[in-house]
Amino acid sequence: MAQPSQLAQLAERKRLLIARSAELRRDVALDLARLHSSTVWVDTGMAVLRSGKALWPLFVGTAGMFVGGNRQGWFGKAIKFASWIGLGKKVAGLWRSAKEER
């Protein structure tokens, strides 16, 4: 059986180990909280991509308008302007419906 001095040493060592364990648990919890706060943007980005599935055709159409050449006359520019107005109305409608869903 252990001597009283050894028991005191063992009890002190146990107390120190328990304190160190609690300290390490707090450190891990802090690290996890920091990691979570720095990766929230991934969830947000994925949610935006999923909710924007209906908008991809509009974005592609808009990109096509920008890429298209400037070799058009006044009539072509008027048609392009009208399509921009229609595009704006669609985007506004989608925006309103997305806000109502939230």
Give the residue extent of every domain in the chain: 1-51, 52-102
Residue bearing the bigger pLDDT, 80 or 30 = 30
Residue 69 has pLDDT above 70, yes or no: no
- Output the furthest CA–CA distance in the chain (Å, rounded): 103
Give the integer Cα–Cα distance in Å for 83 and 65.
10
pTM: 0.41
**What is the spatial distance between Cα 95 and Cα 98, in angstroms, rounded to a whole number?**
5
Higher pLDDT, 71 or 99: 99
- Distance between CA atoms of residues 100 and 90, nearest Å: 15
User: Are the C-beta atoms of residues 61 and 87 closer than 8 Å to each other?
Assistant: yes
Which tokens is 69 given? 């050449």
